[in-house]
Amino acid sequence: MPRFSIIVPSHGVAGRLSQALDSVLAQSYGDFELIPVCDAPGSPAADVADDHAGRDSRVAPVHSPPSAGLSGARNTGLRAATGAHVLFLDGDDTLAPGALAALDARLTETGDVDVLYFEHERTPWWEGEPTNPAAPLLAKTPAGAFSPAQAPQLTGVQLPAWSAAYRRAFLTDHQLTFPEGPFTDLGWGGLVTVAAERVAVLRSVVVRHLLRRQGSRLNLPGEHHHQLLDQVDMVLTRAAGSELSGALFEQLFAVVLKTASRPERLPSGHRAFFRRAGRLYRTHRPAGFRTPGGSLGVQHRLLASGAYSAFRALRGANRSASGAAERVPRPRMLRTRILYARALRRRLDPNLAVYCAYWGRGYACSPAAIHAKASQLAPQIRSVFLVEPDAVDAVPKGVEHAVIGSRKYWEVLARAKYLVNNANFAEGVVKRRGSVHVQTQHGTPLKKMGVDQSTYPVVAAATGSFAKLLGRVDRWDYNISSNRHSTQMWERAFPGSYEALEYGYPRNDVFYTATADDVARVRRELGVPEGKTAVLYAPTHRDYQTGFDTGLDLEAFCAAAGEDVVVLLRAHYFYDQGRAKSSGRIIDVTGHRSSEDVCLAADALVTDYSSIMFDYANLDRPIVVYADDWEVYRETRGVYFDLMEAPPGPVTRTPEELAQVFRDGSYAGAESKALRDQFRARFCEFDDGLAAERVVRRVFLGAPPEAIPPVIPLAERVPAPAATLVRS
């Protein structure tokens, strides 16, 4: 029997679960079993847990459906536990180094107490200065083991479930499980306190708890706050007549009064909540209970007497909160500000959708793919694409558009129910109640993104205000992902309350729907000579450089790679000047509207660290990585994984090595294919040609998740054919 069973629920935290599990497996004390509780086999968290289980036999994943909630997940873990003591860890928290050794030493010293409480750190989501709220509470307790009545100020009501180790036999003997519903920690802590006979404390940090940017879900407005009173009633009924009934009563009603004083948490039924709380107060008030002094004591007396109106007046609950729209910055120009404000007062148009790509650079990327599919499946939706003035001429015929900054632009933004973007809308755009914002992203993250850039000075300086960035994230309702790596990294980089749609990137649909004729047409449009091998060279932006440098002598590469090679040069869109700079065997396609067309035209891809490799991999054509400055890029930009350990094809570091793999044909050989297969299995997970349809059916047509077309298995997909047979 292991010394510790560590139970880790993981719903909604797949992006940080590996850190939680790694913090346990890295402990110097190794006598434990680790039980991740995942939604279902094949879920993002289950994949993480299974990977760890494959590497360490102490990891034993179990499954609990999301509908069972946190309490169901923990109870599932409890049923699977075999250790002498049980600990709980949230899936985005970590164990401090040496934590299990410290717990073992303290339990050896105190004997097998029923509960061992310990300190924890609460770390802000941006990794700011941590706090230790349990330390003052534990400091006032006896030095050794003691009965709960000896320290009535210490109860489980004031501490989360993951701030203690529990003797499993104690839990089993008293049939203790987590009560259903929200506020399960409060109910659990109260029940444990009533049942425990011997407890102790460890005055050192065991758990490092990550405070989510969104705050606790329990603090959000909703009817779930009424269930707080169910937990209070249950605990005080169980505690009736015990020595701790007075302490539990006072601590539980401190929580109740905190909720009652915040009417915004109860959109409806605030009076009913107050009245029921008053009845419970009168029912469970222990004999001889002394009302606290000061303002808190006044609140107690008003609650006991059911004086709802007086309580509201005392707490200032009748003040009206200003709406979110009033707190968001407005456009700067007075005339535009007035126009936008007027448009915001009009009702939303349920059949209006607004699209934008790359800050208005044109009709492109996933917003364009969704726009095209919506015109087929939801023709009742009026769709308007937002573009900069210099991109108007490139908008396809028949596509309604609005110039950014124009009167029409602000009017449609104010009234559209659906807003689709692959970047972000302007700072002054208001997230109206009832509107639906869809963030499509425009690539799979290799480099650090969002708030993960904060520790990289060069990048952070260019990013600007992270507070403003997160304000824009708060507008998102849906965030589209093409693979589970992206889902997890977006969760870290852009913390928010949006729903992840693992549907694939709509812009990549064309890689499975295009025909040989489409490929030939695009090659003619780009000027690729008949029969030539077109190599797409697409380097990414360097944050530590000014301006664009190809990083490679392309004419020399063509000469060394072979006479049948031509290069399609596509610089990062930051350097799109709208005019081609072609010469000789180099065809500049940087200004071409569609990166998807460029990929279709290419027989092979050469890139460094650009996210285009993840999209191009869908075509199952050769990819070569040219990594001449990987170490510098990794240190200055930050990356989510080591590309050199999991590349999509051969890795070259010098111009000579790059030319050689084309000259000898190894760029398209068996080893290259094997690397690409592994890469595609990981990063082409959801791209199958149906992504745009999934988005339109779910977002615009309101189809339930179970009615969305399932993802076609990778082995059954047929990518668009290449124009030229590559050498083997």
The pLDDT tens digits of the residues spanning 403-419 come to: 998 889 999 999 999 99
Residue 307 pLDDT exceeds 70: yes
Q: What pLDDT score was predicted for residue 705?
A: 87
What is the pLDDT, as a whole number, of residue 467?
77
Best-predicted range by mean pLDDT among 257-261, 263-267, 511-515, 554-558? 511-515
Residues 37 and 9: beta-carbon distance below 8 Å: yes
Instruction: State the average pLDDT over residues 437-445.
Output: 96
Chain position carrying tokens 């059954």: 716
At 196-216, the pLDDT tens digits run 999 999 999 999 998 877 777
Distance between CA atoms of residues 580 and 357, nearest Å:
21
Average pLDDT, integer, range 32-44: 93
Higher local confidence (pLDDT), 457 or 224 = 224
**pLDDT given for residue 323 in this prediction:** 37
Cα separation, 255 vs 190, whole angstroms: 13
Structure confidence at residue 636 (pLDDT) = 86
Residues 493-511 have a mean pLDDT of 93
Q: How far apart are CA 301 and CA 307, in angstroms?
A: 9
Task: Kindly report which listed range (464-478, 482-496, 539-553, 621-635) carries the lowest average pLDDT score.
Answer: 539-553
Distance from chain centroid for Cα 446: 15
Side-chain-side CA neighbours of 296 within 13 Å: the count stands at 12
pLDDT of residue 644: 96
Report the interhelical angle of 407-415 vs 334-345 (nearest 10°): 30
Q: Where are the beta strands (DSSP E) in 291-442?
A: 349-356, 382-387, 401-403, 416-421, 436-439
Q: Indicate if the pLDDT at residue 318 is higher than 90.
A: no
Pure H helices in 141-180: 168-173
pLDDT attached to residue 539: 92
Report how far residue 371's alpha carbon sits from residue 382's, in angstroms, rounded to the nearest whole number: 10
Quick check: helix, strand or coil at residue 86? strand
| C-beta of residue 239 within 8 angstroms of C-beta of residue 283 | no
Structure confidence at residue 464 (pLDDT): 61
CA dist 320 and 626 (Å) reads 59
- What pLDDT sits at residue 79? 97
Averaged pLDDT for residues 98-117:
96
The amino acid at residue 36 is P
In three-state secondary structure terms, 323 is coil
Residue 574 has pLDDT above 80, yes or no: no
Res 176: pLDDT = 97
Give the separation between CA 126 and CA 164, rounded to whole angstroms: 26
pLDDT of residue 583: 66
Closest CA to 361 of 337, 394, 339: 394
The residue with greater pLDDT, 109 or 457, is: 109
Distance of CA 147 to the CA centre of its chain: 43
Q: Please tell me the predicted confidence (pLDDT) of residue 215.
A: 72
Complete edge-to-edge strand list for the sheet that includes strand 436-439:
401-403, 382-387, 349-356, 416-421, 436-439, 478-480, 499-501
Q: Are 365 and 442 in contact (CB under 8 A)?
A: yes
CA distance 319 to 212: 28
User: Quick one: pLDDT at residue 127?
Assistant: 57
pLDDT band at residue 329 using 50, 70 and 90 as cut-offs: very low
* Mean pLDDT of all residues in 153-172: 95
549 falls in which pLDDT band (50, 70, 90)?
Answer: low
Distance of CA 89 to the CA centre of its chain: 19
> Taking a C-beta distance cutoff of 8 angstroms, is the pair 264, 170 a contact?
no
CA distance 7 to 49: 12
pLDDT at 13: 83
Alpha helices, H only, 447-601:
457-463, 466-473, 484-493, 510-513, 516-526, 554-561, 595-601
Task: Return the pLDDT at 650.
Answer: 97
pLDDT surpassing 70 at residue 399 = yes
Higher pLDDT, 390 or 549: 390
pTM above 0.85, yes or no: no
550 pLDDT tier (thresholds 50, 70, 90)? low
Q: What is the mean pLDDT of the chain?
A: 89
Question: Residue 330 above 80 pLDDT?
Answer: no
* pLDDT reported for residue 160: 95
More confident site: 310 or 325: 310
- What is the per-residue pLDDT across 126-153, written as a single tens digit (0 to 9) for each? 656 788 889 999 998 999 999 999 999 8
Q: What is the pLDDT of residue 327?
A: 37
Task: Of 451, 446, 453, give the one whose Cα is nearest residue 474.
Answer: 451
The more confident residue out of 463 and 272 is: 272
Structure-model confidence comparison of residues 723 and 238, the more confident one: 238
Other CB atoms within a 10 A radius of the CB of residue 127 amount to 11
pLDDT in tens, 55-94: 999 999 999 999 999 999 999 999 999 999 999 999 989 9
Q: Residue 221's pLDDT band (boundaries 50, 70, 90)?
A: confident
